[in-house]
């Protein structure tokens, strides 16, 4: 699903749809535990790179970075205690993750390398929408986990 959005929809439209990637990375942390988001980040990065070879290694690096930052922040903020997802903590984790990775990705692609146009208001809109999308993705992932998936996956691993 991440490949369908980030691989085939051009930027900045794909940047506005980061809510799907945020949801899946948060959910992968909840299902797999530590390293789950990193695993999904690696797989999605490899798939996106295969489709958008002209942006190698940037798509790969940013996808992996997104997963790593989600895992680190989710563990640091204790977004999952016992089997239950802590909704507010997961929302904060995903907001910070999308903000940090989004800012770094913007800086590298627009400022350092000039691969994408550097238009302040468009960039600010994408960054703000990314943070809001991260919050939505984290909230939905926590709700889906706590209401449906926890009973199926918790204590199996």
Q: What is the pLDDT of residues 83-112, one digit of tens each?
A: 999 999 999 999 999 999 988 988 888 788
Q: Which two tokens stand for residue 20?
A: 């799907």
Q: Residue 41 above 90 pLDDT? A: yes
Q: Residue 73 above 70 pLDDT? A: yes
Q: Residue 157 above 50 pLDDT? A: no
Report helix, strand or coil for 62: helix
The reported pLDDT for the residue numbered 4 is 81
Question: Domains of the chain by range and CATH?
Answer: 16-153 (1.10.1760)
For tokens 């991440």, what's the residue?
A: 2
Task: Identify which of 1, 35, 15 has the alpha carbon closest to the alpha carbon of residue 132.
Answer: 15
CB neighbour list of residue 2: distance below 8 Å, 6 or more residues apart: 20, 21, 24, 40, 44, 47, 48, 63
Report which listed range, 13-22, 23-32, 96-105, 125-134, is most confident. Answer: 23-32
**Residue 10 and residue 48 in contact, taking contact as beta carbons nearer than 8 Å:** no
Report helix, strand or coil for 102: helix
Dihedral-angle region of residue 11 (phi above 0 means left; psi in -120 to 50 means alpha; beta otherwise): beta
Q: Could you tell me the pTM of the whole model?
A: 0.89
**Residue 139 and residue 87 in contact, taking contact as beta carbons nearer than 8 Å:** yes
The reported pLDDT for the residue numbered 38 is 97
For tokens 């507010």, what's the residue?
A: 88
């Amino acid at each position: 699903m991440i490949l369908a959005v980030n691989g085939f929809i051009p930027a900045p439209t794909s940047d506005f749809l980061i809510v799907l990637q945020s949801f899946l990375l948060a959910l992968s942390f909840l299902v797999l535990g530590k390293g789950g988001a990193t695993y999904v980040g690696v797989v999605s990065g490899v798939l996106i790179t295969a489709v958008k070879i002209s942006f190698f290694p940037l798509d790969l690096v940013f996808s992996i970075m997104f997963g790593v930052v989600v895992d680190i922040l989710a563990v640091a903020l204790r977004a999952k205690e016992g089997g239950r997802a802590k909704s507010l903590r997961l929302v904060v984790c995903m907001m910070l993750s999308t903000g940090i990775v989004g800012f770094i990705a913007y800086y590298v692609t627009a400022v350092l390398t000039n691969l994408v146009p550097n238009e302040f208001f468009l960039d600010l809109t994408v960054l703000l929408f990314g943070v809001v999308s991260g919050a939505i993705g984290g909230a939905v992932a926590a709700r889906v986990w706590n209401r449906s998936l926890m009973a199926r996956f918790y204590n199996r691993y």
